Amino acid sequence: MEALQSLPPWVIPLVIALIGIAGILIFIRRSQPPSIDKRLSQFAERKDGGEEEESSGRGGMSVLTSRLDAVVSRNEKSNDLARDLAQADLKFTVTEFLMLRFASVILFALLGAFLGRASTLAAVLGLVIGGIIGLVAPNKFVQFKQKRRLNNFNNQLGDTVGLLANSLRSGYSLLQSMEMVSREAAPPMSQEFRRVVQEVGLGLSLEEAMNNMLRRVPSDDLDLMVSAINIQSEVGGNLSEILDTIAHTIRERVRIKGQIRVLTSQARYSGYVVTFLPIAIAGIITMINPDYMAPIFTFGMPPEAWCCMPVSSAFMMFLGFLAIRKIVNIEV
């Protein structure tokens, strides 16, 4: 209670605003499936038409959100953000993600101001640093989801290519083999091959559908498989034997990457501990006893106490973290 009473008076309105933003985000979630144009554009990549029908066909979407979608869609970066959300398999529109980012900025800024409540300077610094973290954190989360989904896809790709080769050898066509993979494999492999089959069913060629999958999943191993299939369709050859060779190559690459990851795990986690442990301890001490950390942010102290020591410490920890990441980042 004493900590709450010591908060500035502007904190409570901001918390109320944050709760209101969260309520808006819950309200704008779609309660009905998207329109037919929207579903077709996911597979056939239609560029024209259907914007008004799409905005009016969304159940549960408010007029304000529809207008925001129309404004955001005019920005060129919205297409890149929509692609990143699709690669991360996050069920958000660009507008919803931007509103989440805005809420994240407010939340982390309030948290930073609360941790720096020992002095005015610390509160301002915490507010600014928290806002920057809140601005970057959603993008980092999207990148984390993208990387994890890509790793899962690459781990499944070797067995999938072997399954395609065995299916071709048994007499199935390539499209029938992909349809079988879409039924038998686990996500995200089944999701991507199901999209390929659906795109071909909507009129795209197999080469275009495979290239679309490569844009959704930017994997070097998948690029090798797609290139082999496209070349075989032009010059001919035994596709099952080619896929067997590619499957062996992919399995060996995944095995070597796994060994490297195991051998470098101690160094990687040491970098995380060395970098984030001092920050965590400083945050915990600030929450328990703010007066103990107040002298660092007091102008009355010598310059090396309130300026050089925190700044140089953060800079050196950041350089050490980058050095460790560079050492353990081994390309295969």
Q: How confident is the model at residue 142 (pLDDT cuts 50, 70, 90)?
A: very high
pLDDT exceeds 80 at position 33? no
Mark whether 237 and 291 lie in a shared domain: no
Angle at which helices 94-115 and 120-169 pack, to 10 degrees? 140
Enclosing domain of residue 163? 148-251
Q: Determine which helix (DSSP H) or strand (DSSP E) holds 207, and give its type and residue range.
A: helix 206-216
Q: What is the tens place of the pLDDT at every residue in 192-250?
A: 999 999 999 998 898 899 998 988 888 888 998 999 888 888 887 788 899 999 999 99
Mark whether 167 and 286 lie in a shared domain: no
- Number of compact structural domains in the chain: 3
Which amino acid type is present at position 13?
P
- The confidence score (pLDDT) of residue 50 equals 41
Average pLDDT, the chain: 77
The answer to the question of residue 166 being in a domain is yes
Q: Percent of the chain having pLDDT more than 70?
A: 73
Q: Which two tokens stand for residue 205?
A: 């060629």
Q: How confident is the model at residue 102 (pLDDT cuts 50, 70, 90)?
A: confident
Average pLDDT over residues 101-129: 81
Looking at residue 230, which CATH number applies to its domain? Answer: 1.20.81
Q: What is the tens place of the pLDDT at every residue in 35-87?
A: 444 544 544 444 444 444 444 444 444 555 666 666 666 666 777 888 888 88
* Pick from 140, 97, 131, 139: nearest CA to 111: 131
Mark whether 159 and 236 lie in a shared domain: yes
In angstroms, the CA 237 to CA 206 distance is 17
N- to C-terminal Cα separation, the chain: 55
**Domain stop point among 146, 167, 194:** 146
* Pick from 110, 119, 101: nearest CA to 310: 119
Mark whether 165 and 77 lie in a shared domain: no
Mark whether 9 and 137 lie in a shared domain: yes
Mark whether 117 and 90 lie in a shared domain: yes
